[in-house]
Each structure stands twice: as structure tokens, then as C-alpha cells.
Structure 1
Amino acid sequence: MVAEDTYVARRLHLLGEWDAALAVLGPDADPELRAEIAVDRWFFQIERHEEAEKAVAALDPASPTAQLLTARMAYSRLLFRRDPRADDRAVAEAGYRAAAQSGDELQRGWAEYHWGVLLDNIDDDAAGALERYETALEIATKYDDGYFESYIVRHLAHLKEPAERIALLRRSLNLRAALGARPQTVAAQAALANDLPTDDPERAELTQTYRPAAEELHIGWLTADLN
């Protein structure tokens, strides 16, 4: 039953049904999975921060997953400017550095990617971010992990020239759509729309498509401009 609940929760998580995914998990469920879902819900909806933080606090603080999720929470507070703490920047980098030293190569790849996003979005350090993204992309490609790759190329795109940027944004969107990752697909549609020329018909079509989905999923950083 635990294995079945875990499978259902992962599928619901992929669809952006975070509340339902957490509800499916019983008391014996993997606490790391519970924390990952809770952190994703906070990141996309910008709601229930305390629940996400509590779920992360339930993990072994020395585990790579706890280090990565703690860093992501600190980064997101800075990014969204939601009660950022004085040490959030330091906590984020320390967590990513620690997670990057884990023996799990995919875990290291995710840590490198998130570290790159921190450098990119918080420090405005494009050169440092590019190095991290390229390391992460090598790992994603090695493991043929399309879901992971979709995240990397989505951010890598904005460090490239316009033609390559659009191609990478399309790849991110296509990878996510093929995997059925609904919140990520909606975010990719928005990213591509925002980078297309204002008079491009595809931009209008993408905008018309992603906005209702963003509202349904309560993706906070996409619906803020709609209200």
C-alpha cells in the first residue's frame, strides 16, 4: 500500500495537484517525498511556507535532500521577497554546496543547477551561473533525464543569443509537455511567450493558453500580473 500511495502521490505531484498528493501519503510515507512536494507547492503557489518548512525540518538535516530543500526555501524567500532572512543568501549557497558533494550524481546535478539559479537570479552573476548550468546539463544528458534537462535549458536560455534562446525555451516546453509535468509546462509556455516578439501570433496564443491554467493551479508568480 505504501508503494502504491507513493506512486499516486508522485503522479499527482507531476500534475500540480500538491494538496491531493500530500493527502494521499500516509503516516509511513517517505518523509523526503512529502518535503519535496510541500516545497514545490510553496514555490509555485507562494503559499503555506510554514508547512513546507516543517516538512523539511522533519528530515535528517545532514541528508543531501534536506540540505537541498533548505537551500531552495532560503532562495525562494529571497526571490519572492517573502520575509527574507538575513542569512538566506549564505544558507542557500551552503546548502547547495553541501548537496553537490553528495555521492549521488543526479543529486549533485540538481544542486549545481539550483546553485546556478541563485547566482543568476540573486547575484546577477551570469558567468558563474553558466558554469553551474553547463555542469548540470552534462549530468542530465548523461542520465537522459528530460525532466531535469527541461529546468536547466529553461534558465540557460536567457544567457544565450535570441535564436538559441527561443530554441532552448521550446525544448524546455516540449520536454515538459511530453512528460505531463503540468505546472512546469505552464511556466514554460509563459517563458516562451514572454520572449517572443509582441506582435508574434504565437505569443498571443501561448498567453491565452497558459493564463487559465496558471489560475487553476494558483501559480503565484504567474497570476500576480493577472489580478
Structure 2
Amino acid sequence: MIADNAYVARRLQMSGEWDAALAALGPDVEPELRAEIAVDRWFFQMEGHEEAEKAVAALDPASPIAHLLTARLAYSRLLFQRDPRTDDRAVAEAGYRAAVETGDEKQRAWAEYHWAVLLDNIDEDPAGALPLYETALEVATKYGDGYFESYIIRHLAPHKEPAERMSMLRRSLHLRAALGARPQAIAAQALLAENLPAGDPERAELTRTFRPGAEELRIGWLRPED
């Protein structure tokens, strides 16, 4: 039954139904998955930070997933400027470094990817970020993990020449759509639209498509400001 609940929760998470996913798990069930979903919800909706932090605090603090999720919370506070803490930059890098050192191959690759995003988006250090992106992409390709690949190439794309950039952004969108990852697909539509010329009909169509979805799922950083 626990395995069934975890499967349902994971599918709901992929659909952007984070509240329903957490309810499907029930209390004190699959704590790592619960923490991951709670952090995911916070990142997309910018709501439920306290619950996410409590869920992460319930994990073994020495585990790779605890290191990774603690770092992701710190990074997101910095990125969105939502009550950032003075030590968030240090906490984020320490968490990613610890996850790289303690996780299995795919966990290490995810930590390297997130570490690259920290360097790229917060430090504006592409020279430090690019090798980590490339290492993570090698692992994603090795395992045929299209979901992971979609994340990496989304962030690699801005560092490429225009033709390759657009190819990567389209592939990221197609991978996410094929896997049924709705919040991620909506985010990919928005980024692809942003990278198309202002008068391009595809840009207008993508914008008409992603905005209702962003509103429905309450994706905080894609909804127009009040």
C-alpha cells in the first residue's frame, strides 16, 4: 500500500498537484518523497516554505537527499528574494558539496547540476557552472533520463549560440511534455517564448498557452504581478 501511495503521489507531483500528492502520502509515510514534494511545491508556488523546511528537517541530516534539499531551499530563498538568510549562499554550496560527496552516481549528478545553477544564477559565474552542467548531462545521457536532461539543457541553452540554444530549449520542452511533467513543461514554454523574437507568432501562441496553466498551478514566478 505504501508503494502504491508513493506512486500516486509521484504522478500527482508531476502534474503539479502538490497538495494532493502530499495528501496521498499521508503523515509519516515516505519522508524523503514528502520532503521532495514539499520543496518542489515551494519552488514553483513560492508557498509552504515552513512546511517544506519541516519536512527536510525530519530527514536524516547526513543523508544525500537532506543535503540536497536543504541546499535547494537556501538557493530558492536567494533566487526569489523571499526572506533570504545571511548564510544562504554558504548553506547552498555546502549542501551541494556534501550531496556530491555522499550520494550515488545520479544523486551526485543532480547535486552537481544544482550547484551549477547556483554558480550560474546567483554568482553569475558561467565558467564555474559549465563543467558541472556538462558532467551532469553525461550522467543523464548515460541513464537515458530525459527528465533530468530537460533540466540540464534548459540551463545550458543560454550559454550556446542561437541555433543550438533554441534546439536545446525545444528539446527540453518536448521531453517534459512527453513525460507528463506539467509544471516543468509550462516553464519550458515560457522560456522558449522569451527567447523568440517579439513579433514571432509562435511566441504569442506559447504565451497564450502557458499563462492559463501557470495560473491554474499557481506557479509564482510565471504569474503576472498584482
Q: Compute the TM-score of the two structures, normalised by the length of structure 1.
A: 0.98
Match of 2:73 in 1: 73
1:90 to partner: Cα distance: 0.3
Match of 1:102 in 2: 102
Matched ranges for 1:45-64 at <5 A: 45-64=45-64
1:28 to partner: Cα distance: 4.5
1:157 to partner: Cα distance: 0.3
SS at match of 2:62: coil
Match of 2:120 in 1: 120
Match of 2:27 in 1: 27
SS at match of 1:192: helix
Match of 2:84 in 1: 84
Provide the alpha-carbon RMSD of the alignment: 0.8
1:26 to partner: Cα distance: 2.2
For residues 61 and 71 of structure 2, the distance between their equivalents in structure 1, rounded to whole angstroms, comes to 11
Q: Indicate the percent of aligned positions where both proteins have the same amino acid.
A: 77
Match of 2:148 in 1: 148
Letter in 1 for 2:201: P
Q: After superposition, what is the alpha-carbon deviation per residue over 1:66-94, rounded to whole angstroms, capped at 9, x for unaligned? A: 00000000000000001100100000000
The answer to whether the 8 Å contact 1:56/1:66 transfers is: yes
The answer to whether the 8 Å contact 2:186/2:214 transfers is: yes
For residues 79 and 190 of structure 1, the distance between their equivalents in structure 2, rounded to whole angstroms, comes to 18
For residues 193 and 145 of structure 1, the distance between their equivalents in structure 2, rounded to whole angstroms, comes to 25
1:27 to partner: Cα distance: 3.1
For residues 74 and 103 of structure 1, the distance between their equivalents in structure 2, rounded to whole angstroms, comes to 19
Asked whether 1:188 is paired with 2:188, we answer: yes
1:3 to partner: Cα distance: 1.0
| Structure 1 pair 103–89 and aligned structure 2 pair: CA distance change class (3 A) | closer
Letter in 2 for 1:107: Q
The answer to whether the 8 Å contact 2:64/2:103 transfers is: no
Match of 2:5 in 1: 5
For residues 141 and 70 of structure 1, the distance between their equivalents in structure 2, rounded to whole angstroms, comes to 26
1:102 to partner: Cα distance: 2.2
Q: Compute the TM-score of the two structures, normalised by the length of structure 2.
A: 0.98
SS at match of 1:184: helix
1:103 to partner: Cα distance: 4.1
Q: After superposition, what is the alpha-carbon deviation per residue over 1:17-76, rounded to whole angstroms, capped at 9, x for unaligned? A: 000000011235210000000000000000110000000000011000000000000000
SS at match of 1:129: helix
For residues 26 and 210 of structure 1, the distance between their equivalents in structure 2, rounded to whole angstroms, comes to 31
Asked whether 1:139 is paired with 2:139, we answer: yes
SS at match of 2:223: helix
SS at match of 1:169: helix
For residues 111 and 32 of structure 1, the distance between their equivalents in structure 2, rounded to whole angstroms, comes to 16
For residues 209 and 25 of structure 1, the distance between their equivalents in structure 2, rounded to whole angstroms, comes to 31
The answer to whether the 8 Å contact 1:2/1:28 transfers is: no
SS at match of 2:95: helix
Say which is worse superposed, 115-124 or 21-30, in terms of deviation.
Answer: 21-30
Match of 1:213 in 2: 213
Q: Number of residue pairs matched?
A: 226
Q: Which runs of 5+ in 2 are unaligned?
A: none
Q: After superposition, what is the alpha-carbon deviation per residue over 1:162-184, rounded to whole angstroms, capped at 9, x for unaligned? A: 11110000000000000000000
